[in-house]
Amino acid sequence: MKQLGISIYPEHSTPEKDKAYIKMASQYGFRRIFTCLLSVDGNKEEIMNRFKEIIHFANDLGMQVILDVAPPVLRKLNVSYDDLSFFHELGAYGIRLDLGFTGHEEAAMTCNPYGLKIEINMSQGTRYVDQILSCQPNRDNLWGCHNFYPHRYSGLSYDFFVKCSQQFKDLGIRTAAFVNSHSATFGPWPVMEGLCTLEMHRELPIDVQAKHLFATGLIDDVIIANAYASEEELKALSQVDREVITFHVELSEDITDLERKIVLEETHFYRGDVSDYLIRSTRSRVKYKAESFPPHNTVDMKKGDLLIDNELYGQYKGELQIALQPMKNSGKTNVVGKIVDDEVFLLKYLKPWSKFKFAVKE
């Protein structure tokens, strides 16, 4: 099951604030928590005191807390790769290795007696994961998670993201990536110009970032990297359909009640005989064959426009379409709305026969 997550940074906050945030996220169905030991000062006892209470609070709400570490952090804490009891005592669900070992150690870590998940860095573009697999890990405990990038323009390019993610997906390893809250004010490091995996996401609404990651088919879990996201953002993410792309739309002022019903209430699918110009959803023309579709708003069409053929188009009357490029309107097609500008790029993730939905943004 695909999951949503948040991040907390106890060294920059208070237990009370973290607990309130965790509780609110839990109420909106979030199940994962990322937190970072890379940026934390203190010895083993101090870290235990700082993190144990908040982790157990999260566990009581059914959350899964994963701690970001690296070999230098483990050495500093005097924790060996073959004895992860410290993290078990903390209450962690798993640990993420921002930097790794040789592959042998990671494989051994996945066989820990506590069932801790060992999450490895997906943003490297190397054959590191193959080396781990060659050492016979417990694959059920091996996960992958991308980096996030606080420096503007330093986030992953889309093509590199796909290359890295596809490698893990092809191996059947659970994957995760980060999105950026525009209400959050801090992360683990002093520099914070947003916090996301993909650079193209930095200025997009948080729900559009998540829609995109799920739409790629490459990411299982989406985690908000910075803290604290607003309740509005948590709610928006909780409403993202993780399996079917739902486009936010703006409807034309003169849309009819029947056309509105077709757009917002009917099940749509991408007809399999693909066109360069249109995505066609044809079920409505059959269901509403006997209804009237008078011509209105027959303006020329732009990419992302929602179209319903009117009664001048004969047997096509009532068919819903999405414009894929600018087209002249013969007067036979009603332009009943459009996909919001931020989401038009998601059209390329629709595949023939895939389902899709529309919703008016609240």
Quick one: CATH architecture of 247-360? Beta Barrel (2.40)
Query: Residue 267 has what pLDDT?
Result: 87
**The pLDDT of residue 41 is above 90:** no
CATH superfamily of 3-243: Aldolase class I (3.20.20.70)
**The pLDDT of residue 42 is above 90:** no
DSSP-based three-state secondary structure for 193? coil
Mode of pairing for the β-strands spanning 142-145 and 355-360? unpaired
Residue with tokens 């150690």: 105
Domain boundaries, the chain: 3-243, 247-360
- 231-238 and 15-27 helices, crossing angle to 10°: 30
What is the pTM assigned to this prediction? 0.96
- Region 72-100: mean pLDDT is 96
What does the block give as tokens for 158? Answer: 């889309």
- Region 240-261: mean pLDDT is 98
- Region 216-241: mean pLDDT is 98
Instruction: State yes or no: cis peptide before 288, omega within 30 of 0.
Output: no
Percent of the chain clearing pLDDT 90 (strictly above):
96
- Region 44-60: mean pLDDT is 94
Query: Residue 361 has what pLDDT?
Result: 83
Half-sphere exposure of 109 (CA within 13 A, CB side): 27
List pLDDT tens digits, range 188-205. Answer: 999 999 999 999 999 999
What does the block give as tokens for 113? Answer: 């007696």
- Region 55-71: mean pLDDT is 97
**The pLDDT of residue 362 is above 80:** no
Please provide the average confidence, as pLDDT, over all residues in the chain.
97
Query: Residue 113 has what pLDDT?
Result: 98
Query: Cα torsion at 343, 362, 357, 1 (round to 10°)?
Result: 90
- Region 108-135: mean pLDDT is 97
Question: From its phi and psi, is residue 268 left (phi > 0), alpha (psi between -120 and 50) or beta?
Answer: beta
